[in-house]
Amino acid sequence: MMNRLKTLFIVALAFTALTYATERVYLAPFSTVGIDKDLGITTEKLMHAYIDENGRYVLVNYAEDDSVKVGDYESINKVAIQKNCSKFIMAEFTRLGQSVVTSFKLYNVNNEKPVWSDRLKAANPDDFDPIIERVARNIGSKRLTTDDDDIYTVTEQETIKPRKKGISGYFGLNIIGDLELTPNTNMLAGIGLFALFDAKKIFFGLDFTLTNMGDELNKPTFYDFSLSVYYPFGSSNNTPFVGGGLSYSWHITFDDNDELPYTAEELSTNGLTGFVGGGILLNRASSVAFLLQAKYFIDFFNTPYVEETSSKKYKKTNKHIQGLKFSIGIGF
């Protein structure tokens, strides 16, 4: 019984190996634009060597008397059939400036849709070897060459740092009106510093604001450090935008009443504040711009308040603050 199982296992392995080994693939002449033709011949030989090394296909090189036109699907398909191949490979090498774009496609005969294709960029001819080695290792599989993470076939092109788009920025001063809706209806005033970075399709904001520098019991002082992101509507000189962000906020309720046991430090708190809103950036194309904004904000923490409960009697309570904030600023 064991001998029969071993025999069946060996036959299955042999059949599998025979199936893969007998799949013949025709390698058409490479199309080369803007590079030396000798490089094209060299890369064809490299392709043959690496595919043979991987052993998944039997590669059939084109012959001088093959009636094929470089890059022509019809003539290549016809010759592949004549040579009893089930598939064929087409490749293109095109120079663009200092780099070369390489393209590889694997076709089934009589099917114009490639079963596998990939494209890589070579910084120089030294990149051809690792590119072709990776193509030979992955062609015909479910994996693309660009996803191959073998450390020994990294190209020089892949080590180049990506270019970053430039952005413009405004730094300036704004005046703030803060309408506290709950727990008390108060109108506070303040000042702030801001930075607004214009990345064309998105704005990034950085703000520091100080609101209400007085000492009234029911009007806390707000210190806010905010990060925000906004979506601009278009690219006009006067651009409206909407968005939101998050602030780290520090609130202090000052107390000058001698009858209270609390100190200013005991009446301070801090936490996160969320906000949404919008505005308009005026004179966007200039080096000096105006920024008009309106926001709705809500604290994710409680702020201590001093409340009068009866004649000359007070107590400390914790309140949740939300409200509206308006500002006008000038940036340079």
pLDDT reported for residue 268: 79
pLDDT reported for residue 313: 62
Q: What is the mean pLDDT of residues 145-151?
A: 74
- Residue 61: pLDDT over 70: yes
Domain 16-159 CATH assignment equals 3.40.50.12780: no
Question: Which residue did the predictor score with more confidence, 160 or 294?
Answer: 294
Q: What percent of the chain has pLDDT over 90?
A: 48
Predicted confidence band of residue 264 (pLDDT cuts 50, 70, 90): very low
Domain boundaries, the chain: 16-159, 168-331
pLDDT reported for residue 271: 94
Q: What is the mean pLDDT of residues 60-76?
A: 88
Domain 168-331 CATH assignment equals 2.40.160.20: yes
Spatial contact of 151 and 307, defined as CB atoms under 8 Å apart: no
> What would the pLDDT profile of 205-216 be if each residue is shown by its tens digit?
999 999 886 555
> What would the pLDDT profile of 268-325 be if each residue is shown by its tens digit?
789 999 999 999 999 998 999 999 999 999 999 988 776 666 666 666 777 888 999 9
pLDDT reported for residue 92: 94
Residue matched to tokens 């008390």: 184
pLDDT reported for residue 69: 87
Spatial contact of 89 and 117, defined as CB atoms under 8 Å apart: no
Spatial contact of 69 and 91, defined as CB atoms under 8 Å apart: no
Q: What is the mean pLDDT of residues 108-132?
A: 91
Question: Which residue did the predictor score with more confidence, 155 or 102?
Answer: 102
Question: Which residue did the predictor score with more confidence, 210 or 260?
Answer: 210
Which residues lie closer than 8 Å to 89 by C-beta, 6 or more apart?
25, 26, 27, 28, 47, 104, 105, 106, 107, 139
Q: Which of 143-152, 237-246, 257-266 has the highest mean pLDDT?
A: 237-246
Token representation of residue 36: 């030396």
Q: What is the mean pLDDT of residues 116-120?
A: 92
Identity at 49, one-letter amino acid code:
A
- 3 state DSSP class of 257: coil
pLDDT reported for residue 145: 80
Predicted confidence band of residue 64 (pLDDT cuts 50, 70, 90): confident
Q: What is the mean pLDDT of residues 59-79?
A: 88
Predicted confidence band of residue 230 (pLDDT cuts 50, 70, 90): very high
Q: Mean pLDDT of all residues in the chain? A: 84
Contacts within 8 Å (CB) and 24+ apart, 58-64: 58/21, 58/22, 58/23, 58/24, 58/25, 59/24, 59/25, 59/27, 60/24, 60/25, 60/26, 60/27, 60/85, 61/27, 62/26, 62/27, 62/28, 62/29
